[in-house]
Chain A
Amino acid sequence: MSAGADAVDSIEEPLSGRAADSRSGFGVHRALIASSVVLLAFVAVAALAPYSLVDPAQIDPLVRLRPPSMETPFGTDHLGRSVLSRTISGARVSLAVGAGVMMATSVIGVAVGIICGYFRRVDGILMRVMDAVMAAPAILLAIALMALSGPSIGNLVIAITLPEVPRMARVVRASVLSLRGRTFVEAAITAGCSAPTILLRHILPGAVGPMMVQATYVFASAMIIEAVLSFLGAGTPPATPSWGNMMAEGRQYLQRAPWILAFPGGALTIIVLAVNLLGDALRDRFDPRLMRTAISGGKMRAR
Chain B
Amino acid sequence: MKPNAMLFAAAALAFSLSPVGAESVLKIRPFGDLKQIDPIVTSDYMVRNHGYMVYDTLFAMDEKLEIKPQMVESYEISADNMTYTFRLRDGLKFHNGAAVVANDVVASLKRWGKKDGLGQTLIAKTAKLEAVDDKTVRLVLAEPWGLVLDALGKPSSNVPFIMPASIAATPADQSITDPVGSGPFIMKKDEWVPGAKIVYVRNPNYTPRADAPSGLAGAKIAKVDRVEWHYIPDAQTALNALQAGEIDILEEIPPDLLPVIRSVKDIKIVRQDSLGAQAVFRMNTIQPPFNNQKIRQAVSYMINQKTFLSAYIDDPAQITECPSFYMCASPYKTDAGWPKPDMAKAKQLIAESGYDGTPVVILHAQESGPTNTFSLVAAQVMREIGLKVDAQAMDWGTLVGRRASKAPTSQGGWSLFISAPTGADMMEPVGHLALRSNCDKAWFGWPCDETIEKLRAEFAVTVDIEKRKKLAEQIQLRAVETVPYWPIGQISLMRAQSARVDGVLNAAIPVYWNISKK
A and B in contact, CB less than 8 Å: yes
Residue ranges of A at the interface with B (Cβ–Cβ < 8 Å):
57, 59, 61-62, 64-65, 78-80, 150-151, 233-234, 237-239, 248, 251-257
Contact B307 A61, beta carbon cutoff 8 Å = yes
Question: How distant is the Cα of A234 from the Cα of B377 in the complex, in angstroms?
Answer: 20
Question: A251 contacts which chain B residues (CB < 8 A)?
Answer: 234, 236
B74 within 8 A of partner (CB): no
Chain B residue numbers with a CB within 8 Å of A64 are 256, 310-311, 314
The answer to whether B373 has its CB under 8 Å from any CB of chain A is yes
Residues from chain A with a CB closer than 8 A to the CB of B375 are 238
For chains A and B in complex, what number of residue pairs have CB atoms within 8 angstroms? 69
- B373 is contacted by which of A79, A150, A237, A254 (Cβ under 8 Å)? A79
| CB < 8 Å neighbour of B311 from A79, A238, A239, A248 | A79
CB distance from B9 to the nearest CB of A (A): 52
Offer 9 A-B interface pairs, CB within 8 angstroms, sorted by A: A59-B376, A61-B311, A78-B373, A79-B376, A151-B393, A233-B367, A233-B395, A237-B393, A238-B376
> Contact between A234 and B393 (Cβ–Cβ < 8 Å)?
yes
* Shortest Cβ distance from residue B40 to the other chain A in the assembled complex, whole angstroms: 30
Instruction: State which residues 317-363 of B face A: CB under 8 Å.
Output: none
Q: How far is the CA of A79 from the CA of B378 in the complex (A)?
A: 12
- Taking a contact as CB atoms closer than 8 A, the residue among A62, A151, A239 that contacts B380 in the complex is A239
- Judge whether B259 is part of the interface by a CB distance below 8 angstroms: yes
Contact between B391 and A238, CB atoms less than 8 A apart = yes
A184 CA / B394 CA spacing, docked (Å): 57
Across the A-B interface, give the 5 residue pairs with the lowest CB-CB distance, nearest first.
A61-B310, A61-B311, A238-B393, A255-B260, A233-B393
Q: Chain B contact residues (Cβ within 8 angstroms of A): what range?
A: 20 to 34
A247 → chain B closest CB, angstroms? 12
CB closest chain-A residue, reference B234: A251
**Interface of chain B, main secondary structure:** helix
Which of B234, B239, B314, B392 sits near A150, CB closer than 8 Å?
Answer: B392
Which single residue of chain A is at the shortest CB-CB distance from B364? Answer: A238
Considering the complex, give the chain B residue whose CB is closest to the CB of A58.
B380
Closest A-chain residue to B309, C-beta based? A61
Min CB distance, B516 to chain A, in Å?
Answer: 30
Q: A59-B377, A238-B376 are in contact. Are A255 and B314 (CB under 8 A)?
A: no
| B379 in contact (CB, < 8 A) | yes
Decide if B257 touches A239 in the complex (CB within 8 Å): no
Q: Is B235 at the interface (CB under 8 A from chain A)?
A: yes
A256 touches B380 (CB 8 A): no
| In the complex, chain B residues whose CB is within 8 Å of the CB of A253 | 236, 256-257
CA of A65 to CA of B315 in the docked complex: distance in angstroms? Answer: 13
Is B394 a contact partner of A252 (Cβ separation < 8 A)? no
In the complex, what distance in Å separates the CA atom of A234 from the CA atom of B390?
14
Cβ-closest chain A residue relative to B390 = A237
C-alpha gap A64/B313 in the complex (Å): 10
Residues of B within 8 A of A61 (CB): 307, 310-311
Q: Which B360-391 residues have C-beta < 8 A from chain A?
A: 364, 366-367, 373, 375-377, 379-380, 389-391
Q: Give the docked Cα–Cα distance between A289 and B377 (Å).
A: 57
Pick the residue among A78, A238, A254 that contacts B236 (CB under 8 A): A254
B413 touches A (CB below 8 Å): no
Q: Check A62/B310 contact, CB under 8 A, given A57-B380, A233-B366, A255-B257.
A: yes
Return the CB mask of B124-142 against A: 1 if under 8 Å, else 0.
0000000000000000000
Since A59-B307, A59-B380 are in contact, a sample of 14 more A-B pairs with Cβ atoms closer than 8 Å, ordered by chain A residue number, is A61-B311, A64-B310, A78-B373, A233-B393, A238-B366, A238-B375, A238-B376, A238-B391, A239-B391, A248-B366, A252-B234, A252-B236, A252-B256, A257-B256
- CB neighbours (8 Å) of A239 from chain B are 376, 379-380, 389, 391
Contacting A at CB under 8 A, from B376-430, are 376-377, 379-380, 389-395
Closest to A245 in B: B393
Q: Are the C-beta atoms of A256 and B259 separated by less than 8 Å?
A: yes
**Which of B239, B256, B260 sits near A78, CB closer than 8 Å?**
B256
Asked whether any CB of chain A lies closer than 8 Å to the CB of B254, the reply is yes
Q: Which residue of A lies closest to B395 (CB)?
A: A233
Task: Specify which of B234, B376, B392 lies most central, judged by the most chain A CB atoms within 10 Å of its CB.
Answer: B376
Rounded to whole angstroms, the CA-CA distance of A61 and B255 in the bound complex is 14
